[in-house]
């Protein structure tokens, strides 16, 4: 039986955080044998906010090395850079004509990013979800593993697919979101009601996958908690709840087990244990990423092969779309 298709991507827009790891890449590894996987580096999405060209280029390769260091296997998955497959931009144009401005204006991420980059509310920022829909729909994707923050974009991708199918006949497969419970939403260490984000200006708010052990321990030591000293998950204790979630995601135990384990302990010991657990998981990943980055020839080859595979599938799909909508492609 043919494997179902899985698609996901991360933007090379900053240093990845432990949220990107638990909410995205780690799940990719768990799913890679069960599905036919496409894992992209979404550099076209990244330029919707301003990027320094040299940095964008460097981060693209670093992200690829990170995927592989986390355990994503290039022999089984298609790893590629979004801009190297032109059909993403081409399909976006078609889908733009069936997406409403009002829908895009209502997107939470668009509103957040518009507030944050008020000097640069560009068309690409608004079009971001349509490009994401094109990514997903080009490969007849069945499931899309994303963190909670991306679920709204996935809903729009589904709506656009259904809309197209209704108008032009069955063309796109309608994708499903896939979110694992633990690690799906890691919050900021400084403002635990906000999500941890790689583009947060406060470096203490996020733990980066590239942070060394001392930095990790220090950031957890400074994490915002509360004054009642009980290590339990509760709605009015967002800081402690977040730390319990992180501990659970990195140690493999449940939040309930973690609560039990830390019963009667102080916040100081608890934060140290969370920091050590995270640092222990990240150390081998960092070492492997460094080793891979020293072998550019290998990384370039992975990207070449990935782009070729993705291109073949995308070209077929776009041609089908062009046929359906009446674009002349020769007789």
The contact set with ligand ATP (CB under 6 A) reads 10-11, 13-14, 17, 19-20, 22-24, 146-147, 149-150, 184-186, 195-199
User: Residue 19: which of 320, 297, 245, 232 has the closest Cα?
Assistant: 245
Is-contact 158 174, C-beta < 8 A?
Answer: yes
Does 260 participate in catalysis according to the annotation? no
Residue 79 CB, nearest distance to ligand LTN (Å)? 14
Residue 177 CB, nearest distance to ligand ATP (Å)? 10
Q: Which is nearer to ligand LTN, 132 or 258 (CB)?
A: 132
**3, 181, 185, 195: which is the annotated catalytic residue?**
195
Q: Which stretch binds ligand LTN (CB under 6 A): 3-11, 227-235, 259-267, 313-321?
A: 3-11
Residue 175 CB, nearest distance to ligand LTN (Å)? 9
Window 114 to 133, contacts with ligand LTN (CB under 6 A): 132
246 binds ligand LTN (CB under 6 A): no
Nearest residue to ligand ATP on Cβ basis: 23
Does 198 participate in catalysis according to the annotation? yes
What does the angle CA 259 – CA 262 – CA 268 come to, to the nearest 5 degrees? 125
- Residue 55: CB atoms within 10 A of its CB come to 13
How far apart CA 8 and CA 30 sit, in angstroms, is: 13
Is-contact 259 232, C-beta < 8 A?
Answer: yes
Does 195 participate in catalysis according to the annotation? yes
- Beta carbons within 8 Å of 263's beta carbon, 6+ residues apart: 231
Position among 26, 45, 158, 237 found at the interface with ligand LTN (CB under 6 A): 45
Q: Which is nearer to ligand LTN, 113 or 219 (CB)?
A: 113
Query: Coil, strand, or helix at residue 77?
Result: coil
Residue identified by tokens 């490969």 is 139
Residue 178 CB, nearest distance to ligand ATP (Å)? 10
User: Which among ligand ATP, ligand LTN, none contacts residue 199 (Cβ within 5 to 8 A by kind)?
Assistant: ligand ATP
Residue identified by tokens 């799906």 is 184
How far apart CA 92 and CA 45 sit, in angstroms, is: 12
Residue 285 CB, nearest distance to ligand ATP (Å)? 16
Classify residue 24 by its DSSP letter.
Answer: I
**4, 185, 198, 324: which is the annotated catalytic residue?**
198
User: Residue 306: which of 3, 75, 53 has the closest Cα?
Assistant: 75
User: Which among ligand ATP, ligand LTN, none contacts residue 277 (Cβ within 5 to 8 A by kind)?
Assistant: none
8 binds ligand LTN (CB under 6 A): yes
User: Which among ligand LTN, ligand ATP, none contacts residue 7 (Cβ within 5 to 8 A by kind)?
Assistant: ligand LTN
Query: Coil, strand, or helix at residue 106?
Result: coil
Residues 35, 182, 115, 226: what is their CA dihedral angle, to the nearest 10 degrees? -170
User: Residue 150: which of 8, 28, 275, 30 has the closest Cα?
Assistant: 8
Q: Which is nearer to ligand LTN, 194 or 291 (CB)?
A: 194
Q: Which is nearer to ligand LTN, 9 or 69 (CB)?
A: 9
135 binds ligand LTN (CB under 6 A): yes
Polymer length in residues for the chain = 331
The whole-angstrom distance between residue 315's C-alpha and the CA centroid of its chain comes to 24
Residues acting as catalytic residues: 113, 195, 198
Residues forming contacts to ligand LTN in the complex (CB under 6 A) are 7-11, 42, 45, 132, 135-136, 144, 146, 150
């Amino acid at each position: 039986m043919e494997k179902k298709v899985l698609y996901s991507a991360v933007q090379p827009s900053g240093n990845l955080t432990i949220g990107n790891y638990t909410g995205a890449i780690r799940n990719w590894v768990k799913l890679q044998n069960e599905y036919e996987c496409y894992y992209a580096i979404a550099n076209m999405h990244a330029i919707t906010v301003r990027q320094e060209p040299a940095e964008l280029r460097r981060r693209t390769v670093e992200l690829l090395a990170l995927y592989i260091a986390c355990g994503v296997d290039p022999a089984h998955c298609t790893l590629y850079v979004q801009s190297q497959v032109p059909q993403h931009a081409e399909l976006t144009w078609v889908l733009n004509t069936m997406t409403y401005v009002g829908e895009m204006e209502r997107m939470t991420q668009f509103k957040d990013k518009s507030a944050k980059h008020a000097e640069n509310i560009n068309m690409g920022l608004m079009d971001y979800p349509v490009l994401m829909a094109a990514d997903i729909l080009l490969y007849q994707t069945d499931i899309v593993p994303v963190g909670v923050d991306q679920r709204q974009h996935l809903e729009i991708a589904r709506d656009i697919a259904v809309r197209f199918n209704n108008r032009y006949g069955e063309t796109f497969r309608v994708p499903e979101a896939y979110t694992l419970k633990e690690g799906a939403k890691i919050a900021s260490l400084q403002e635990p009601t906000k999500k941890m984000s790689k583009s947060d200006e406060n470096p203490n708010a996020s733990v980066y996958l590239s942070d060394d052990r001392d930095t990790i321990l220090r950031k957890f030591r400074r994490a915002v908690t509360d004054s009642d000293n009980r290590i339990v998950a509760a709605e009015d204790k967002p800081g402690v709840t977040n730390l319990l979630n992180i501990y659970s995601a990195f140690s493999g135990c449940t939040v309930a087990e973690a609560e039990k384990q830390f019963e009667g302990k102080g916040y100081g010991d608890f934060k140290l244990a969370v920091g050590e657990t995270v640092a222990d998981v990240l150390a081998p990943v960092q070492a492997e990423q460094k080793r891979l980055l020293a072998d550019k020839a290998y990384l370039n080859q992975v990207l070449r092969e990935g782009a070729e595979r993705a291109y073949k599938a995308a070209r077929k799909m776009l041609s089908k779309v062009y046929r359906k909508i009446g674009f002349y492609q020769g007789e």
